[in-house]
Amino acid sequence: MLFSEIFGYDILKNRLIRSVHENRVSHSQLLFGPEGTPKLAIALAYAQYVNCLSRTENDSCGVCASCVKYNHLAHPDLHFIYPVATTKEVDSKPKSKDFIAPWRELVLETGADFSLTDWYEKIGMAESKQAIINAEDAGEVVRTLALKAYEADYKVLILWMVEKMNLSSANRLLKVLEEPPEKTLFLLITEDPDQILSTILSRTQLVKIPAMNEATIAMQLQNRFGLSSSEAGRLALLSEGNWLTAIRIARSGGQEGASASDFIEWLRDIFRLGTSKFWAEANLAILQRAAIFSRLGRENQKSFLVMAMRMVRYVMLQRLGASGMVKLEGAEAKFTVDFSPFVHSGNASLYYDLLQESHNNIERNANAQLLFIDLSYQLERVMRIPAPAQ
Ligand SMILES: [Zn+2]
């Protein structure tokens, strides 16, 4: 991966490049940022640059012996750890090296732009499984790192999604970070630094990879998918700063798996649960809808919930009289007015929490059908909370 293949992030790239020139590469760094930021791409470009045999002022050469191996992720001094679980192919004691073939394939075919869910799908992990970074896996790589480098200046370990380490693997990593082998670069990647042991955090240099702004996403959508600037702008808005969501929506022809009108209909059913006249009908509708949602696939379910959070925010803005900030039209705009009695300071954060928690649970492979049924009844409870007296 070359730095020039990564769109934007110039200040950060320059800082990393300078650290190589000035010979002050910190041996362990934690790249953190939300889903859809090019953390892995930046780590790969950085590692390649550190080891390039004829690097230029601003980038790797791309053609030296080291770069050629890096281009295929096949350098003997480049190691990876990522979350794994048992699958059909690997039915016991899964380790990262058992999955190196699909890993290389996914990184290369996506330009290192993929989510944890994409990874689970790639290795054919069952929805009921939990992927982790286990202690045996971490231990084996750590032992390899203690050996001398085969040919590179720097041995590199890229540890993707550090938050998936269990306690014993985190302790192994900690030990090696405390007494790092010479000329070894640890690049840790996470979407959630809050879940990482403070002892690990304190031994790494933190590198923040901020979410992309809408303008950057729109520009990339124009470049990559040839979209008009207005269409790219519309999709960028829907993506909420997540480049992966933007790509997914662009590939699906600009349509989300479930639309705002599905959300509005769903809330209407939920509201009817509280009426004696429509109660039975509404229950049936909730079950049917949950079955439909469960067939959308995890990525679509996640973006549906993100969209739901956005709609709740718009309703709240509407209620606060900030209708100019509600970027909706037609039936959706009308919804924010109609629904505004039901979103207020007494329950707005509860809607968010429920939707966010469901989003997280989908990522953790929860049973989507049960999740949406449960979420429906919980939302009904939140909807009934009376607005605090003015
Ligand atoms: Zn090179």
List all residues 6 or more positions away from 126 whose beta carbon is below 8 Å from its beta carbon. 85, 87
Q: Cα of 73 to ligand 1 centre, how many Å? A: 13
Ligand 1 geometric centre to CA of 112 (Å): 19
CA of 54 to the centre of ligand 1 (A): 5
CA of 62 to the centre of ligand 1 (A): 5
- Give residue 204 CA to ligand 1 midpoint distance, Å: 27
pLDDT at 127 over 70: no
Q: What was the pLDDT predicted at 371?
A: 96
Q: How far is the CA of 57 from the centre of ligand 1 (A)?
A: 12
Classified by CATH at the fold level, domain 3-210 comes out as Rossmann fold (3.40.50)
CA of 66 to the centre of ligand 1 (A): 6
Cα–Cα dist 322/319, whole Å? 7
Q: Check if the beta carbon of residue 336 is closer than 8 Å to that of residue 314.
A: yes
- pLDDT tens per residue across span 147-176: 887 888 899 999 999 999 999 999 999 999
Residue spans per domain, the chain: 3-210, 212-250, 256-383
**In whole numbers, what is the pLDDT of the chain averaged over residues?**
90
How far is the centre of ligand 1, averaged over its atoms, from the C-alpha of 76 (Å)? 15
| Res 256 pLDDT > 60 | no
Q: Give per-residue pLDDT as tens, 292-347.
A: 888 887 878 888 898 899 889 999 998 988 887 777 777 888 898 999 999 999 99
Q: How far is the CA of 207 from the centre of ligand 1 (A)?
A: 24
Ligand 1 ion: nearby residues, β-carbon < 5 Å = 52, 60-61, 64, 67
> Over the stretch 173-188, which tens digit does the pLDDT of each residue have?
999 999 888 899 999 9
Confidence grade of residue 262 (pLDDT, cut at 50, 70, 90): confident
What is the pLDDT, as a whole number, of residue 240?
77
Average pLDDT over residues 133-141: 90
**In the predicted model, what is the mean pLDDT of residues 221-241?**
85
Whether the Cβ atoms of residue 244 and residue 114 lie closer than 8 Å to each other: yes
- pLDDT for the residue 17: 97
How close is the Cα of 5 to the center of ligand 1, in Å?
Answer: 15
pLDDT for 51 equals 96
Q: What is the mean pLDDT of residues 194-201?
A: 92
When comparing pLDDT for 390 and 291, which is higher?
Answer: 291
Average pLDDT over residues 69-85: 95
Question: Model confidence at 241, in pLDDT bands (50, 70, 90)?
Answer: confident
pLDDT at residue 190, as a whole number: 97
> How many whole angstroms from 60 Cα to the centroid of ligand 1?
5
Weakest-pLDDT range from 234-248, 277-291, 309-323: 234-248
Among the residue ranges 71-75, 114-118, 294-298, 326-330, the one predicted with the least confidence is 326-330
Mean pLDDT within 188-207: 94
Q: Does pTM surpass 0.85?
A: no
Report CA(34)–ligand 1 centroid distance (Å): 30
